[in-house]
Amino acid sequence: MSEACTSRELMIYTISRLLKGVRHVAVGQSSPMPAAGAMLLRALNERDGVERVQVSILGSVKHNSFTGGAEELFDCAAQGRLDAFFLGGGQIDGRGNVNLVGTGDYPNNPVRWPGSFGSAYLYFLVPRVILFREEHSLRSLVERVDFVSAPGVSDETVYRRGGPHALLTNAALFSFDREAGRFRLESTHPGYSWRDIRGTTGFAYDNEQCEVVTPAPDEATLALIRGRIREELRECYPQFAGNMPGPG
C-alpha cells in the first residue's frame, strides 16, 4: 500500500474531474494545483484513449504552444477557443464575485494581494471557470467581497458566455447556478462534515446538509500524480513539486 492520498492530491484529482470533456484548458501564473489537475486530465485521457486535451500552462516553455505572446490566450478566450480556466481569489463571495486586489478600502488596502490579472476579462468569456481557493475560511469565503476584480453574474446587456462553474477548496466542492447566482454544496472532503462547511463559509448556499463525500483517486491515478504529473510540474513549480509525495 502506498502513502494515503493527501489533501492536495484529492484537490488535483477533483480538478481533473471538473475538467472532464474540455478540449482546451489554460492555467494562469502561480497555480500549481490547477496546472497539476489539467496535466492529470491530459494524462488520463491519453491512457484511456479518449479525446486529446490541449493544456496551456502560462509561464511554461514545454506545456504551452502559443506563439502569439501572452495576448494569444485572451484572443483565444474571446473567440471561444478556450473551454476552461481557473481563478483564485483572496475573497470569493456567494454571488461568485472574486477579489484578487485586497481587503478594506481601495486604493490603500491594509492587506494588498497581487492584483486582478486577467480575471475581469476571462470570467466573461471562458465557459468553465473553476474557482480554486485552498483556504476554506470565513475570511476567504465571504458574504460580500471588499473589491470586485471580476463579477460572478451580469445582466443581459453585457456580452457574457463564461462564468463560475465550481468552487473547490481544501474542505469542499460547490457548483454554481448561474440563473440563481448561488453556490450549491456538492460534496465535502474526507474529514469534513456539512456542519464544518456551514461553520466556515461566510455566504449562503444551497444543499447545506450535503452528505456526499468527495471521491478520492484510485491507486493508478495516484501513481500518475506522484510520477508523471510531479515531473511535469517541476519546470514551472519546482518548490511545489519537490514537496509532493513521490519516488525519489
Partner 1 sequence: MTDFVTPQEMAEMIPSGCKLGLAPDDYAAAPGLVRMLIDRGIRDLHVVCAPIGGMQVDMLIGAGAVATLETSAVSLGEAGGAPCFSRAVRDGSIRLRDATCPAVFAGLTAAEKGVPFMPIRGIIGSDVLKKRDDWKVTSNPFDDSEQIVVVSAIQPDIALFHAPEADRFGNVRLGRRRETMLLAHASKRAFVTVERISEVSLLEDEKTAAGVLPAIYVSAVAQLKNGGWPTGLYAEYPRDGQEVEKYARAARSPEGFQAYIRGSRSAA
| 112 part of the interface to partner 1, by CB under 8 A | yes
What is the DSSP track for 81-105? ---EEEE--SEEETT--EE-SEESS
Task: Out of 49, 110, 199, 248, name the contact with partner 1 by CB under 8 A.
Answer: 110
181 binds partner 1 per the rule CB under 8 A: no
The answer to whether the beta carbons of residues 38 and 57 sit under 8 Å apart is yes
Rg of the Cα atoms in the chain: 18
CB nearer to partner 1: give 132 or 240.
Answer: 240
For partner 1, the binding residues in 47-76 under the rule CB under 8 A are 59, 61, 66-72, 74
**CB 148 → partner 1: shortest distance, Å?**
4
- Binding flag, residue 151, partner 1 (CB under 8 A): yes
**Torsion over CA of 157, 158, 162 and 167, rounded to 10 degrees?**
-90
Contact residue for partner 1 among 6, 30, 137, 170 (CB under 8 A): 30
Give the one residue of 1, 48, 158, 211 binding partner 1; rule: CB under 8 A: 158
CA angle at residue 129 from 225 to 232, to 5 degrees? 25
**Residue ranges in contact with partner 1 by CB under 8 A:** 29-30, 59, 61, 66-72, 74, 78, 100-102, 106-125, 147-151, 154, 157-160, 237-240
